[in-house]
């Protein structure tokens, strides 16, 4: 299995290469040169597997045994997923009127990012030990990715993690998951701007190939193929749990399952599109908050950023640059890197692009969308509790809005992705007029000391942030070379 860039100028990379690369050298994102197909018999055979076993099977499609032998892959994934708070790691909860929710939030930071992050960090550590070298993870976050990266990487030898989050645009629990970690290999910045602003500075850093090589820079955002690869597993798990595929005859068509996904940076929905391309009959729905660029792109072909990122109760998807849509476009266009490059370079330069008619038709044929404002989020949180005594987070509520407002076709099973625990979003819970007993592990965060640095807004804020981050990378590398602590 080899990988190529969505922009067509980089090909022939293996999993280890793309794991350590983040963006490709041409500015694109890595995808498998040939997307594997899952035969119906394979899906029937996988029906009895646990989620952890499905992750191993999926990962083995993209990671050859010469890089990670199967038994070592099993050990890495098993160790990565061993610390989740429920034995099955993820689970489907069946509620009234066909409302099926796939809970993905039982990791350390109570968000679905923990699933892919823990596995990806284990893969990184495995290869770093073989190489006998160090690396630095550079992560921008809209809320959940930063905490997950920190909790997965803290204390690991050979790996530093630098996280930048948008100050005032994450919840107190999300923030505390980041700033209360005092391990010497963790470096946290609070930026006076949006997560899209942070991405601008990070793109500049990753575009400097000398800087990337000197400091061993790695992205652990969903730019990294490994993150998306692990996310394929929960779509397949949901399908196997809900479709009844094991009851179908060998000659009959596979049943379809609708999967509804709260969408921001579009990594999760991109994973769903890949699984659909692999032959799993999914009907995909991408649900967004008031930051609705994905909705506008699918419904009208208008791939244009709004003037500003709107702050909503579903803060982790307050994103106007859904960068993983590049992967979706690449799939739809049959791997036409030249067309993708032209489209994405125009979008990055002007923040606007009108999809060609054919591309728009293809996109609207593989997914539908919906848009939910804060009032809708509160309504669904309250209604889901009143009808089921089940509390959803505001992001999950963005998805579950679809259940209550879109007709349910008889015979079609639906699955709603629950991306985070409501324990992280107390403000939204209170706005819905609801209460709950806070988790003990969340309460403990209030008593911990904190450490972080500020990135202030200035006239030339992007230049200033880039300079500060370069200085930090240099200081960290120098400390590791001298075998001394960064924070004395």
Report the range of poorest mean pLDDT among 140-154, 251-265, 295-309: 140-154
Per-residue pLDDT for 324 more than 90?
yes
What's the pLDDT band for 130 if we cut at 50, 70, 90?
A: very high
Mean pLDDT of 13-30: 91
Average pLDDT, the chain: 93
What share of the chain has pLDDT > 90, as a percent?
Answer: 78
What's the pLDDT band for 347 if we cut at 50, 70, 90?
A: very high
Mean pLDDT of 182-204: 92
Per-residue pLDDT for 472 more than 90?
yes
pLDDT of residue 258: 97
pLDDT of residue 257: 96
The tens digit of pLDDT for each residue in 257-282 reads: 999 999 999 999 999 999 999 999 99
The tens digit of pLDDT for each residue in 279-297 reads: 999 999 999 999 999 999 9
Per-residue pLDDT for 446 more than 90?
no
The tens digit of pLDDT for each residue in 114-123 reads: 999 999 999 9
pLDDT of residue 106: 95
Mean pLDDT of 176-181: 93
Per-residue pLDDT for 334 more than 90?
yes
Mean pLDDT of 93-116: 94
pLDDT of residue 441: 76
3-state secondary structure the chain: CCEEECCCCCCCECHHHHHCCCCCCCCCCEEECCCCCCCHHHHHHHCCCCHHHHHHHHHHHHCCCCCCCHHHHHHHHHHHCCCCCCCCCCEEEECHHHCEEEECCCCCCCECHHHHHHHHHHHHHHHHHHHCCCEEEEEECCCHHHHHHHHHHCCCCCEEEEEEEECCCCCHHHHHHHHCCCCCCEEEEEECCCHHHHHHHHHHHHHCHHHHHHHCEEECCCCCHHHHHHHHHHHHHHHHHHCCHHHCCCCCCCCCEEEEEECCCCHHHHHHHHHHHCCCCEEEEEEECCCCHHHHHHHHCEEECCCCCCCCCCHHHCCCCCCCHHHHHHHHCCCCHHHHHHHHHHHHHHCEEECCHHHHHHHHHHEEEEECCHHHHHHHHHHHHHHHCCCCCHHHHHHHHHHHHCCCCCCCEEEEEECECHHHCHHHHHHCCCCCCCCHHHHHHCCCCCCCEEECCCCCHHHHHHHHHHHHHHHHHHHHHHCCCCCC
Q: Could you tell me the pTM of the whole model?
A: 0.90
What share of the chain has pLDDT > 70, as a percent?
Answer: 100
pLDDT of residue 142: 79
The tens digit of pLDDT for each residue in 244-255 reads: 998 888 778 899
pLDDT of residue 171: 86
């Amino acid at each position: 299995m080899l990988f190529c860039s969505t922009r067509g100028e980089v090909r022939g990379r293996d999993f280890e290469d793309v794991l350590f690369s983040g963006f490709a050298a041409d500015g694109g994102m890595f995808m498998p040169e040939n997307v594997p197909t899952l035969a119906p018999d394979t899906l029937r055979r996988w029906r009895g597997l646990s989620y952890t076993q499905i992750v191993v099977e999926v990962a083995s499609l993209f990671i050859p045994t010469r890089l990670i032998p199967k038994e070592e892959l099993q050990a890495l994934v098993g160790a990565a997923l061993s610390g989740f708070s429920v034995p099955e790691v993820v689970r489907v909860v069946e509620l009234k009127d066909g409302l099926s929710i796939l809970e993905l939030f039982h990791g350390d930071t109570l968000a679905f990012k923990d699933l892919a992050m823990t596995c990806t960090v284990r893969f990184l550590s495995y290869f770093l030990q073989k190489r006998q070298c160090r690396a630095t993870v550079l992560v921008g976050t809209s809320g959940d990715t930063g905490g997950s990266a920190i909790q997965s990487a803290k204390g690991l030898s050979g790996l530093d993690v630098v996280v930048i989050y948008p100050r005032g645009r994450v919840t107190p629990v999300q923030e505390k998951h980041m700033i209360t970690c005092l391990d010497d290999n963790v470096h946290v910045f609070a930026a006076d701007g949006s997560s899209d602003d942070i991405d601008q500075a990070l793109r500049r850093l990753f575009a400097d190939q000398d800087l990337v090589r000197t400091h061993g820079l790695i992205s652990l955002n969903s730019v990294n193929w490994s993150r998306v690869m692990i996310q394929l597993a929960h779509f397949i798990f949901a399908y196997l749990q809900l479709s009844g595929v094991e009851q179908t005859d060998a000659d009959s068509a596979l049943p379809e399952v609708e999967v509804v996904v709260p969408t921001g940076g579009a990594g999760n929905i991109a994973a769903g599109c890949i699984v659909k391309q692999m032959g799993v009959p999914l009907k995909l729905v991408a649900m967004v908050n008031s930051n609705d660029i994905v909705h506008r792109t699918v419904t009208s072909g208008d791939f244009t950023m709004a003037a500003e990122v709107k702050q909503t109760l579903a803060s982790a998807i307050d994103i106007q640059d859904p960068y993983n849509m590049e992967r979706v476009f690449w799939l739809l266009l049959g791997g036409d890197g030249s067309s993708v490059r032209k489209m994405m370079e125009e979008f990055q330069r002007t923040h606007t692009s009108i999809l060609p008619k054919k591309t728009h038709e293809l996109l609207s044929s593989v997914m539908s969308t919906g848009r939910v404002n804060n009032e809708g989020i509160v309504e669904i949180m309250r209604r889901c509790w009143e009808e089921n005594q089940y509390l959803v987070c505001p992001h999950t509520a963005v998805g579950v809005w679809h259940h209550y407002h879109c007709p349910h076709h008889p015979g079609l099973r639906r699955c709603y992705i629950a991306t985070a625990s409501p324990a992280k979003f107390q403000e939204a819970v209170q706005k819905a007029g609801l209460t709950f007993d806070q988790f003990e592990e969340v309460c403990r965060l209030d008593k911990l000391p904190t450490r972080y640095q500020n990135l202030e807004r200035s006239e030339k804020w992007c230049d200033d942030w880039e300079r500060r981050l370069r200085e930090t990378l240099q200081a960290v590398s120098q400390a590791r070379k001298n075998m001394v602590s960064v924070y004395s």
